[in-house]
Structure 1
């Protein structure tokens, strides 16, 4: 079966790694047809193992190789298609749209945090098919009140986010 692993915290805040090295870690852990998309930690691969087993195997392999606490979220090709096909916002050159990949229920936690945060004009959030989507004006992602919440250490093992264009690139790689 084909999967994509979405790694959290890759090539940000001092956690630097080459995608060629990450792909080799995946291969050494028994994954097949391994390739990366962008430098933000999106690894497409094949395996006959379950998603739960893959998460454990790959987080350990990444942690051991790179000497950091790895967090990743594995989605099947079908699940990745749902991320792309469920985007609730219209594309707009002035806005970024993000989809959040994470543990079951994290979308509700994110919505609670979003509703507590001050929002910029045109900043919105919606949950579609248990997926949290966030729209924010370009240039405001890291400065927005909600953007600052996303960096909380207490949430680091619960989700990662991707610009929705990344989902399209992953699907093309499948």
Structure 2
């Protein structure tokens, strides 16, 4: 057993969990992570946020866990592994003020995806009040509640060939993840 400390704490953000027919129980997902050698495994919400610790590097963890999930659930799994420090940065750097009329999302994904998302946002037609911002290498999106899936940018997010590149979470989810780490 590895030493449990902040340097080896991670969260895996799974893409497309419990949407469009990809249904899975978080307890079962946690057992897949444990069988793949992860320690201190738990979940936050039912949307595929799995906390764990490991001595291995994030890129190695991503490959190991995607294979384990794909094999167990018989689907093409995509997940993005972030350290506690990376999640703290994502949450700390949110560029938008909280406003009950809007959802604010942070994105996690492969290197360079934030710039691609900003480029796509810049080209899309905006809803009133919709905004996006790049802060260092993190992408944030603010959209009026009720318009997430209707917005032109929201539709871009569902494009099949982008599935392996990123996933998003409401900023409230990042806060819940951090409180549990």
Tell me the TM-score range normalised by the shorter chain: over 0.9
SS of the aligned residue for 1:11 comes to coil
Q: In the alignment, what sits opposite 1:123?
A: 130
CA distance in 1, matches of 2:59, 2:34: 18
Q: In the alignment, what sits opposite 1:171?
A: 178
Q: 2:27 aligns with which of 14, 20, 32?
A: 20
CA distance in 2, matches of 1:154, 1:62: 19
Q: In the alignment, what sits opposite 2:15?
A: 8
The answer to whether structure 1 residue 58 and structure 2 residue 65 are counterparts is yes
| 1:40-75 Cα distance to aligned partner (Å, 9 max, x none) | 100000000100110010000000000000000000
1:17: how far off? 0.2
1:112: how far off? 1.0
Aligned positions of 1:30-69 closer than 5 A: 30-69=37-76
Q: CA RMSD in A?
A: 0.5
Q: In the alignment, what sits opposite 2:151?
A: 144
Segments of 4+ in structure 1 off by > 4 A?
none
Unaligned runs of 5+ in 1: none
1:129: how far off? 2.1
Q: Number of aligned pairs?
A: 174
Unaligned runs of 5+ in 2: 1-7
SS of the aligned residue for 2:129 comes to coil
| 1:116-173 Cα distance to aligned partner (Å, 9 max, x none) | 1110111000001210000000000001100000000111000000001100000001
User: TM-score with structure 2 length normalisation?
Assistant: 0.95
CA distance in 1, matches of 2:149, 2:92: 26
Q: In the alignment, what sits opposite 1:114?
A: 121
1:34: how far off? 0.3
Aligned positions of 1:69-88 closer than 5 A: 69-88=76-95
CA distance in 1, matches of 2:173, 2:137: 19
